[in-house]
């Protein structure tokens, strides 16, 4: 009571303390998000050249795209695809607006005519596209917000396509190569030059003679910043703890399946008969298996090992197993055996329930069956009428041109009723099979390669980790996390574990090598409160990972360590060139060659289009310098890709003049046009001011 009285006496003081705590929490969030006016950062997924892309609108497009493409595309992949589409639309729309490009009604109608011509909804009674039908359709969906929104999106996409075509055609018009450029292309390909040269390879100077320092690499990076710009990146290392079933779990799964070989009781105390004694195999399998019973004949060649190797010696009622296949244990019982062909040739006439496009008659199920029975009676009396009835009556367009025939198909090719009739019947049989497509009047024309098949009832049990295994895995991961937060290296050593590194993870990456899709880890690593050395534990599809952040770099220039692989060879070759130039003496090619211990070499018929020097490789700078030197003259020293050169021009052979260079102008143009659309977009993207907030939401 005394404590409660003290609390009451100081209630005002406590309220002030709580209020201040709440205010500090809000203030911290405000500061973290860029100030009190930063609500925009919570509603805007990106700003492109000052234009906001709203978060909700973007998210709706991502959701719609995911529904369209299905589960094979991850949310991150969908987001990135929609981002590129949205960014492209935004950047190009700026260009359309600046140029005053619009879509006229006639252009839109022409595009709709082309895009909807084959859609029956927009066709008149003669099967042609009808604007009246289109207007009728639009009027009918205006009361349905979802359909009308989809239609509006479709129209906007059509308009954007028209505008993009206009814009790109304008760009293409400015890229047409002139006849002068055509002549230049012709000269590049056909003017030839013969040279003699001295080649001093960089490889003749060892790397040890030309050390490259970090300071030199750093200077090169600063002097060439555009080549080394990188986005924010992090490095991590992690340890995995798998929830895979233990040996005890595997043994238990095998024993549980083996228990079905004899009468037993289930967890509810109910009697479970032995698998061998049951007659309703489908019901028994469906009650005890993780996979449903499949009622079909199976060919030995289609079975998995080890059942494939033993089935030939098994009779009806025999059981094999338990046996392991991948992450399952299985128990298989031979239900029946017989002989079946491995392929069949047949022909059929299909009478669908509903509209038959062949005779334009719509039939109920009873009417379709009655028609099929009538056709069956006709072809049984006179088999020669089969082809004409196929043409007149069958709705299976895929087989009509072949007389309704399907040649030598295997057992699993056709739907079950059609398959069963043609494989289980005899050559010459004519009958009816009903499928989801309608009624088939079928004649079996041939069967070959009769062989033993079996109907097999298989009980499949997935091997799963037990609760004890799951708890043990969680405990191991949690204990390691606690130890790793104190000292990562000591935690590894004490548990004899090996960490795996993953470097250069981007802020919008989702797939982490070795871990898989896991945006939570990426978001944690890039969070401003996460520091190098911090540790976290995350759930994965296969268990847990304990992760340590090992590096965190802001957007800017590449580090010396990362740039070294690219820069070091450049600086090294530059230093080697200087050594080789200083080593060479003399004025003639022969004197220079002698001074450095190489010989004078010759190259003939070199062109600008194919600047390959024998024994050295592609050296465009060297060949270009040679073409710029008069006959009989020598160049100075030239730093090439593979070494230092000195060249003497022996002969220039200009290609003969042409009356017209249009074909070469077209060739130059054709080399540019295929990549034009993407190059234009990339140029717009590169010059745009983009504030990308996607990582905040995804």
Domain ranges in the chain are 2-32, 105-174, 192-229+560-653, 232-244+467-554, 247-340, 348-445
pLDDT at position 11 is 47
- Angle at Cα 445 formed by Cα 439 and Cα 447, nearest 5°? 110
Give me the mean pLDDT over the 581-598 stretch: 94
pLDDT at position 506 is 93
Flag whether pLDDT at 650 surpasses 70. Answer: yes
pLDDT at position 127 is 79
CA–CA gap between residue 698 and residue 696 (Å, rounded): 6
At residue 46 the predicted structure's pLDDT band, cuts being 50, 70 and 90, is very high
Spatial CA neighbour of 288 closest among 301, 274, 299: 274
Give me the mean pLDDT over the 106-128 stretch: 87
CA–CA gap between residue 400 and residue 634 (Å, rounded): 77
List pLDDT tens digits, range 315-359. Answer: 999 999 999 999 999 999 999 999 999 999 999 999 999 988 888
Tokens representing 516 are 């898989």
Indicate the average pLDDT of the chain. 90
Flag whether pLDDT at 15 surpasses 50. Answer: no
pLDDT at position 39 is 54
Flag whether pLDDT at 18 surpasses 60. Answer: no
Give me the mean pLDDT over the 634-661 stretch: 95
Spatial CA neighbour of 454 closest among 598, 319, 289: 319
pLDDT at position 8 is 43
At residue 72 the predicted structure's pLDDT band, cuts being 50, 70 and 90, is confident
Prediction pTM value: 0.66
Spatial CA neighbour of 563 closest among 321, 80, 227, 163: 227
- Angle at Cα 647 formed by Cα 641 and Cα 651, nearest 5°? 125
Flag whether pLDDT at 401 surpasses 50. Answer: yes
List pLDDT tens digits, range 179-230. Answer: 998 999 999 999 999 999 999 999 999 999 999 999 999 999 999 998 999 9
Flag whether pLDDT at 291 surpasses 50. Answer: yes
Letter string b/e over residues 613-636, b meaning 16 or more CB atoms within 10 A of that residue's CB:
beebeebeebbebbbebeeeebbe
Share of the chain above pLDDT 70, in %: 94
At residue 123 the predicted structure's pLDDT band, cuts being 50, 70 and 90, is confident
Flag whether pLDDT at 378 surpasses 60. Answer: yes
- Angle at Cα 211 formed by Cα 207 and Cα 216, nearest 5°? 135
Tokens representing 534 are 């911090």
**Domain boundaries 348-445, CATH class:** alpha beta
Beta strands in 105-232 (DSSP E): 192-201, 229-230
Least confident segment among 11-25, 58-72, 91-105, 126-140: 11-25
pLDDT at position 552 is 92
Tokens representing 680 are 């234009």
CA–CA gap between residue 47 and residue 52 (Å, rounded): 4
Give me the mean pLDDT over the 443-470 stretch: 95
Helix locations, 487-559, DSSP H: 488-494, 519-526
List pLDDT tens digits, range 498-531. Answer: 999 999 999 999 899 999 999 999 999 999 999 9
Tokens representing 324 are 């392991």
Spatial CA neighbour of 665 closest among 188, 171, 184: 184
Give me the mean pLDDT over the 689-695 stretch: 89
Flag whether pLDDT at 20 surpasses 70. Answer: no
Flag whether pLDDT at 21 surpasses 50. Answer: no
φ and ψ at residue 605, rounded to 5 degrees: 55, 40
Tokens representing 459 are 């009980």
């Amino acid at each position: 009571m005394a404590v409660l009285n003290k609390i009451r006496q100081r209630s005002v003081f406590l309220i002030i303390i709580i209020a201040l705590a709440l205010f500090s929490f809000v203030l911290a969030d405000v500061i973290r998000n860029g100030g009190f006016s930063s609500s925009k950062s919570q509603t805007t997924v990106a700003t492109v050249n000052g234009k906001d892309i709203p978060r909700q609108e973007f998210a709706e497009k991502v959701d719609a795209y995911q529904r369209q493409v299905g589960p094979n595309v991850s949310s991150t992949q969908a987001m990135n695809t929609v981002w590129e589409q949205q960014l492209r639309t935004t950047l190009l729309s700026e260009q359309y607006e600046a140029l005053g490009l619009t879509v006229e009604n006639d252009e839109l109608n022409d595009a709709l005519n082309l895009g909807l011509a084959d859609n029956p909804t927009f066709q008149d009674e003669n099967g042609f596209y009808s604007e009246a039908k289109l207007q009728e359709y639009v009027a009918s969906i205006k009361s349905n917000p979802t359909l009308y929104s989809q239609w509006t999106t479709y129209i906007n996409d059509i308009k954007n396509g028209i505008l993009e075509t206009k814009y790109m055609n304008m760009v293409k018009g400015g890229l047409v190569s002139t006849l002068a450029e055509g002549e230049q292309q012709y000269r590049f390909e056909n003017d030839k030059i013969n040279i003699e040269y001295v080649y001093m390879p960089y490889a003749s100077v060892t790397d040890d003679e030309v050390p490259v320092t970090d300071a030199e690499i750093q200077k090169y990076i600063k002097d060439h910043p555009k080549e080394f710009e990188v986005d924010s990146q992090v490095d991590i290392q992690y340890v995995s703890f798998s929830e895979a079933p233990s040996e005890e779990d595997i043994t238990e799964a095998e024993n549980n399946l083996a228990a079905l070989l004899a009468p037993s009781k289930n967890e509810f105390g109910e009697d479970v008969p032995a698998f061998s004694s049951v007659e309703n195999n489908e019901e028994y399998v469906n009650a005890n298996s993780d996979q449903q019973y499949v009622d079909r004949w199976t060919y030995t060649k289609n079975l998995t090992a080890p059942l494939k190797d033993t089935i030939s010696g098994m009779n009806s009622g025999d059981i094999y197993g338990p046996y392991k296949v991948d992450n399952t244990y299985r128990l298989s019982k031979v239900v029946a055996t017989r002989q079946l062909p491995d392929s069949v040739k047949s022909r059929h006439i299909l009478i669908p329930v509903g509209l038959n496009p062949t005779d334009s008659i719509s039939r109920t199920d009873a009417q379709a069956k009655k028609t099929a029975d009538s056709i069956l009676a006709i072809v049984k009396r006179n088999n020669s009428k089969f082809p004409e009835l196929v043409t007149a009556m069958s709705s299976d367009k895929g087989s009509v041109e072949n007389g309704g025939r399907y040649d030598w198909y295997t057992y699993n090719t056709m739907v079950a009723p059609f398959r069963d009739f043609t494989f289980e019947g005899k050559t010459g049989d004519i009958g009816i099979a009903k499928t989801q497509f309608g009624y088939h009047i079928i004649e079996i024309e041939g069967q070959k390669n009769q062989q033993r098949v079996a109907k097999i009832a298989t009980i499949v049990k997935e091997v799963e980790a037990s609760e004890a295994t799951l708890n043990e895995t969680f405990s191991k991961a949690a204990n390691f996390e606690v130890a790793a937060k104190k000292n990562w290296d000591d935690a590894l050593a004490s548990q004899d574990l090996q960490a795996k590194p993953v470097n250069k993870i981007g802020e919008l990456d989702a797939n982490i090598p070795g871990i898989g899709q896991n945006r939570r880890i990426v978001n944690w690593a890039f969070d401003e409160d996460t520091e190098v050395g911090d540790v976290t534990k995350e759930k994965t599809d296969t268990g847990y990972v304990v992760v340590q952040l090992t590096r965190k770099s802001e957007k800017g220039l590449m580090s010396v360590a990362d740039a070294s692989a690219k820069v070091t060879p450049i600086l090294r070759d530059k230093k080697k060139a200087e050594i080789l130039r200083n080593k060479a003496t003399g004025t003639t090619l022969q004197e220079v060659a002698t001074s450095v211990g190489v010989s004078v070499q010759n190259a003939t018929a070199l062109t600008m289009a194919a600047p390959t020097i024998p024994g050295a490789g592609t050296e465009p700078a060297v060949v270009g310098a040679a073409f710029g030197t008069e006959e009989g003259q020598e160049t100075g020293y030239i730093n090439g890709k593979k070494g230092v050169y000195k060249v003497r021009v022996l002969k220039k052979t200009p290609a003969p003049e042409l009356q017209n260079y249009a074909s070469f102008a077209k060739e130059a143009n054709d080399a540019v046009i295929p990549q034009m659309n993407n190059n234009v977009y990339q140029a717009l993207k590169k010059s745009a001011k983009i504030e990308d907030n996607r990582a905040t939401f995804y």
